[in-house]
Amino acid sequence: MIPAAFEYYRPKDIEGVLAILEQHGDDARVMAGGHSLIPMMKLRMADVPHLIDLQDVGGLSGIEVTGDSIRLGALVTQAQIIDSAELTRAAPILREAALQIADPQVRYMGTIGGNVANGDPGNDMPGLMQCLDASFSLIGPDGAREVAARDFYEAAYMTDREDDEVLTAVTLPLPQGGYAYEKQKRKIGDYATAAAAVQITGQGGTCTSASIAMTNLSDTPIFSEDAGEALVGTTVDDAAIKAAMAAMLGDIDPTEDNRGPVAFKKHVAGVILRRAITRAWSRA
Amino acid sequence: MKDEITRDERIDNLKGMGCSRKRVEDARFTQGKGNYVDDVKLDGMLFGDFVRSPYAHARITNIDSAAALEVPGVLAVLTAKDLEPLGLHWMPTLAGDKQMVLADGKVLFQGQEVAFVVAEDRYAAADGIEAVEVDYEELPVIVDPFESLKSDVILREDTVDENGRPTDGAHGPRNHPNHIFTWEAGDKAPTEEVLANAEIVAEESMYYHRTHPCPLETCGCVASMDKVNGKLTLWGTFQAPHAIRTIVSLISGIEEHNIRVISPDIGGGFGNKVGAYPGYVCSVVASIVTGKPVKWIEDRMDNLMTTAFARDYWMKGKISATKEGKITGLHCHVTADHGGFDACADPTKFPAGFMNICTGSYDIPTAYLAVDGVYTNKAPGGVSYRCSFRVTEAVYFIERMIEVLAIKLNMDAAELRRINFIKKEQFPYKAALGWEYDSGDYHTAWDKALKTVDYEGLRAEQAQRVEDFKAGKTRKLMGIGLSFFTEIVGAGPVKNCDILGLGMFDSCEIRIHPTGSAIARLGTISQGQGHATTFAQILASEIGLPADSITIEEGDTDTAPYGLGTYGSRSTPVAGAATAMAGRKIRAKAQMIAAYLLEVHDNDVEFDVDRFVVKGAPERFKTMKEVAFAAYNQAIPGIEPGLEAVSYYDPPNMTYPFGAYVCVMDIDVDTGVPDIRRFYALDDCGTRINPMIIEGQVHGGLTEALAVALGQEIAYDDMGNCKTGTLMDFFLPTAWEVPNYETDYTVTPSPHHPIGAKGVGESPHVGGVPCFSNAVQDAFRAFGNTHTNMPHDHWRIWKTANELGLHD
Ligand SMILES: Cc1cc2nc3c(=O)[nH]c(=O)nc-3n(C[C@H](O)[C@H](O)[C@H](O)COP(=O)(O)OP(=O)(O)OC[C@H]3O[C@@H](n4cnc5c(N)ncnc54)[C@H](O)[C@@H]3O)c2cc1C
């Protein structure tokens, strides 16, 4: 498992990154933590003649929590998400989810930017960001733009990001109410068999808003608007949860792999969602 | 002379048998100072690596190396055509078959070695591999052994005559071109008669899936041919360095004294490193061709996909009993999938290993076993992954059959075992399939285990859980897994155990130094078992020098005495016995020296812990240390100077360790996720040399058992593509998945072993797999489950629940 030869770049600023991207086009790719990209290169499934390491680029790190939103620099690692007390107070679901990604060694390297930009349906952060209605800041030769997480994913490894654009930050509104990130996996370090992100608010025992997204059950993360809708206005009783599960099952499209056949995945997706809703509601 | 310390203190100072001495190896291993084969770096060393087949079955019409030879750093590309003039394009397997070293016109499994690229470093080799162009013509793929036996696709054209009829194989006639052998044990007709007339017969078919030993360190070697002195040095991850030396000599024609094989530190073997692989042959040839040392190291995918798998047994059983549950007969048929070549690592006369231990721990009067080996388009291997030869399969089979019979009899499975155990007074016990069990006390072990876990309490809790489940109060079921195993280890007596004609004795050579320290060399090789620690302890107790003053060395064929290596838990039973016997030779000579020094007759001194004392006058003694010095500085009439001994030990019998395991598991019926609440393991390995090392071995073996039972498999799709070639999909448990193990023991020494020890490294794996599996199956017993196949990963457990109608 040895990658093909490549040129290695370590620019200091985003202009430097963009210049290399412009010069080499498809042949150049940015690397953040490298824990998705390097394995792909070693398997020779990704051919990257020009590798641009983002680690020294200024302005891509830092966690900022303000009155109504959170901004995570693209290079913020999963370990930093777990360790930030401020972030955990503001959005505890981020920590709960990050703790279920891989293992500590991977989490020291893996970044939020790499995780959401990668486009692997197995990654946990994309679904979570859809649940939280985050947006991604991109910068390219034509300037900067924002894309909603819910509009970003097109197919496996296909996103709205152009090859010559860099993701600089993830911004999300301060989450409200109860939360849960529920994930079934075969072992520590494994991607999800099924995972559900739920953020939910209520008043006087009635659900006022609910946001639900699922991971690794289609070739993109699935934000199931209907599943959330099914809970709003209910007391989140068994009937409502069943309706949400049914709505979610209508949105996902899992495929068979070593984790199991489609029927199993659908069943587990329902179970996981039920548990996530129940836990989130108990915290609302 | 006056004693300053007590006799007990003298015993403690030796750190001999029974002492939980810390592992002397760990100082280097825990500091990253081990010396593994990939740490071997020689001047001008080259790196070789394989072009591998992407197809499971294909004809090769052309190999074009021109572009590869243009890649900077690439020096040579070897193909079968280059090896053919040397007669090395095929090599013998340990099972009496032969195997292509490099694809000779066709490939038989995905990942098969097609060409060997030799380059200045591993990076250039990897680029060179990409540049070799191979033209394949795809052939029909067979991944199912039953289909293989019906197919008119001939997988191995080299095993049929001009009319396409199978020629005889190494183990007799073959009944189909894709059939390898039929091997039988026991009495067919009487067994069939017992089954036909039995009050109760339970039948079950089970598949013991293909898996892989997956040692942390993959296989590899460094070959260095010195053209000036004609000597070949071969470093490698060899579990049997001497056997490798002999095989290399036989197939290369290099005289054996000109070959030096060195096994440095080995990062786990579990059977994966017993066989001979194309990488070894190609490295040797490449070193001869280039005149430079050549290294070959597998990556993880190479290891999982091509070197030595384990298991892949389709087992069909019938077991008969009286209405009261007394077992009267056992019938077993196995269809064994060996892949493209029969490269099993078994003693030559045992093509299905010791599968005929499948009557287990039970007094079964009549039994019959037949095994059919079959070729398919899968990787070769069939090694004993952390078990003696096929013993894991045998024990899984009988421990499942017992459970299936218990269900048929509507009886408690613990009680069924108890009434069928071989009784203490029946040992030595001659089993229906041929073995003679040396010693055992199964009832005592079983009772202790069941009492410790409060078996009755567990069953009561389980019954309540079933009620609660039916009442909708819980979605978790509780499984109680039982297993009682008898292993057969320590291969083995030369009269019936050999590998390619090499008798399976083992050896130890001891040199005592003048100052009272020693070095002992053995024919075995540690792969993490802690030999340097435990063998020194055996010697310490035998010769009375502290274990800390004894160096143990293994793995260098130029210095170590000939032995058959380490696998099948044979090191302690065979080399451990040789160690004790060599120690006794030292002691015998030392006794004469001591008598001379004490000016008494030889028979008037006796050995006591660390010294020889004059009988009846304990104040008059010579310590072993003093005797050692005298051996080198005194001219003693009639006695040669020096103090050395060597022993080659041919064991009179195998040893038969046993144990009683209980697992308690909660299963989430909706997700298929099992949660192991408790695991209790009682092992009886006879005399216990180092209790701490035993406990470590038990923990490791149980963890590998958990892996195999709950998810670890080598799976193929219909096209013969390996679906589990990386650690993402091949299940290796981490500390997180592993429960807290409770260990326990009884001690029933082996009557024929010099120190009564039986071997323990593999017991926990052998007993653990059925225990974990039985726990899963038992959870569903109340709902009509009799048997489901491993691995019990989430989706298969879920499927069981689903098929039993437990989901709404
Ligand atoms: C053993 C193991 C287990 C894992 N388990 C999980 C898991 O359970 N859940 C999970 O979510 N992840 C898992 N991962 C993936 C891990 O979290 C990755 O680190 C993460 O997905 C990618 O982050 P990275 O910083 O390493 O990205 P990289 O590997 O550096 O990059 C990934 C991709 O994103 C692109 N990219 C990176 N940063 C940017 C940017 N700023 N702008 C534009 N493009 C960018 C790269 O070009 C590349 O295509 C696992 C990884 C390993 C090795």
Q: Is A29 inside any structural domain?
A: yes
**Cα–chain center distance at B313:** 16
The four Cα atoms B681, B683, B688, B694 give a dihedral, to 10 degrees, of: -40
Interface contact B127-A5, CB threshold 8 A: yes
Residues A164, A193 within the same domain = no
Q: Does the pLDDT at position A227 exceed 60?
A: yes
Predicted confidence (pLDDT) per residue in B718-739, tens digit:
999 999 999 999 999 999 999 9
- From the CA of A33, how far away is ligand 1's center (Å)? 7
Residue A157: left (phi > 0), alpha (psi -120 to 50), or beta? left
Question: Which residues of chain B does CATH 3.30.365.10 include?
Answer: 7-34+506-649, 393-490+655-803
Comparing CB atoms, the residue among B671, B724, B731 nearest residue A187 is B731
What's the CA dihedral at B225, B227, B231, B236 to 10 degrees? -10
Q: What residues of chain B lie within 8 A of the CB of A189, using their CB?
A: 734
Average pLDDT over residues B233-262: 95
Own/partner pairs, B151-157, CB within 8 angstroms, 24+ separation: B151/B178, B153/B178, B154/B178, B155/B57, B155/B108, B155/B340, B155/B375, B155/B376, B155/B377, B156/B108, B156/B340, B156/B375
How many A from CA of A34 to the centre of ligand 1? Answer: 6
A30 lines ligand 1 (CB under 6 A): yes
pLDDT, one tens digit per residue, over B414-466 is: 999 999 999 999 999 999 999 999 999 999 999 999 999 999 999 999 999 99
- Predicted confidence (pLDDT) per residue in B277-322, tens digit: 999 999 999 999 999 999 999 999 999 999 999 999 999 999 999 9
- Take atom 50 of ligand 1 and give the residue whose Cα is closest: A102
CA distance A149 to B188: 69
- Ligand 1 mean position to B481 CA, how many Å? 40
Quick check: CB of A41 below 6 Å from ligand 1? Answer: no
Mean pLDDT of B155-184: 96
Phi, psi of A207 (to 5 degrees): -70, 130
Provide the edge-to-edge strand list for the sheet that holds B133-138.
B106-107, B58-64, B133-138
Q: Mean pLDDT throughout B682-693?
A: 98
Nearest to A268 among B130, B671, B715 (CB): B671
Same domain for A206 and A242?
A: yes
Measured CA distances, B537 to B45, B133, B690, B751 (Å): 39, 56, 8, 20
**What residues pair up with A53 in beta bridges, in sequence order?**
A31
Do A6 and A46 contact (CB within 8 A), yes or no?
no
pLDDT tens string B546-558: 999 999 999 999 9
Delimit the CATH 3.90.1170.50 region(s) of chain B. Answer: 37-139+218-266+273-306
B393-490+655-803 folds as: Aldehyde Oxidoreductase; domain 4 (3.30.365)
A163 and A241, same domain (yes or no): no
Does the CB of B22 have a partner CB in chain A at under 8 Å? no
**Based on the domain organization, do A70 and A169 belong to the same domain?**
yes
Fold of B7-34+506-649: Aldehyde Oxidoreductase; domain 4 (3.30.365)
Q: Is B297 helix (H, G, I), strand (E, B) or coil?
A: strand
Structure tokens at B242: 């001497």
Any idea which residues of B carry the catalytic annotation? 239, 386-387, 762
* CATH number for position A21: 3.30.43.10
A88 domain residue, yes or no:
yes
Residue A206: domain span? 184-283
The domain over range B37-139+218-266+273-306 is classified in CATH as 3.90.1170.50: yes
| Ligand 1 neighbour A61 (Cβ under 6 A) | no
d(CA B334, CA B350): 14
What's the pLDDT band for A42 if we cut at 50, 70, 90? very high
Q: Is there a contact between A184 and B671 if contact means CB atoms under 8 Å apart?
A: yes
Return the number of CB contacts < 8 Å for A and B: 63
pLDDT tens column, B587-626:
999 999 999 999 999 999 999 999 999 999 999 999 999 9
Statement to judge: residues A246 and A200 lie in one domain? yes
The residue out of A173, A201, A227 marking a domain boundary is A173
Which residues of chain B have a CB within 8 Å of the CB of A104? none
**Same domain membership, residue A261 and residue A193:** yes
Within B70-193, strands assigned E span 74-78, 90-92, 98-100, 106-107, 113-119, 133-138, 179-186
For the cut 80, the answer to whether the pLDDT of residue B762 exceeds it is yes
The domain that contains A71 carries what CATH number?
A: 3.30.465.10
The answer to whether residue A58 sits within a structural domain is: no
Q: What is the pLDDT of residue B133?
A: 98
Strand-pair category, B106-107 with B294-297: unpaired
A contact residues 205-264, partner B, Cβ 8 Å cutoff? 258-261, 263-264
**pLDDT over 80 at B111, yes or no:** yes
User: What is the residue with the minimal CA distance to atom 10 of ligand 1?
Assistant: A123
pLDDT at B3: 58
The number of beta carbons lying within 10 Å of the beta carbon of residue A61 is 18
Distance from residue A114's CA to the centre of ligand 1 (Å):
4
The pLDDT score that the predictor gives to residue B499 is 87
Same domain, A42 and A142: no
Q: How far apart are CA A106 and CA A109, in angstroms?
A: 5
Q: What is the CATH number of the domain that holds A202?
A: 3.30.390.50
Same domain, A261 and A233: yes
pLDDT of B525 reads: 95
**Mean pLDDT, rounded, for B333-354:** 95
Name the nearest CA neighbour of A68 among A88, A91, A84: A91
Q: A23 in a domain, yes or no?
A: yes
Q: Quote the minimal CA–CA distance from A182 to chain B in Å.
A: 12
Out of A150, A173, A196, a domain closes at: A173
If you measure CA to CA, which chain B residue comes closest to A190?
B728
Q: Residue B201 forms beta bridges with which residues?
A: B320
Decide whether any atom of ligand 1 lies within 6 Å of the A119 Cβ: no
Identify the band that residue B2 occupies on the pLDDT scale cut at 50, 70 and 90. Answer: low
- Domain count across chain A: 3
Secondary structure letter of residue B203 according to DSSP: E
In a domain, A179, yes or no: no
- Tell me the CA distances in angstroms from B464 to B28, B452, B482, one per residue in order: 52, 21, 19
Q: Which of A151, A173, A195 is the last residue of a domain?
A: A173
For residue B808, what pLDDT is reported? 80
Q: Which residues in chain B have Cβ-Cβ distances shorter than 8 Å to A193?
A: 794
pLDDT band at A245 (very low <50, low <70, confident <90, very high): very high
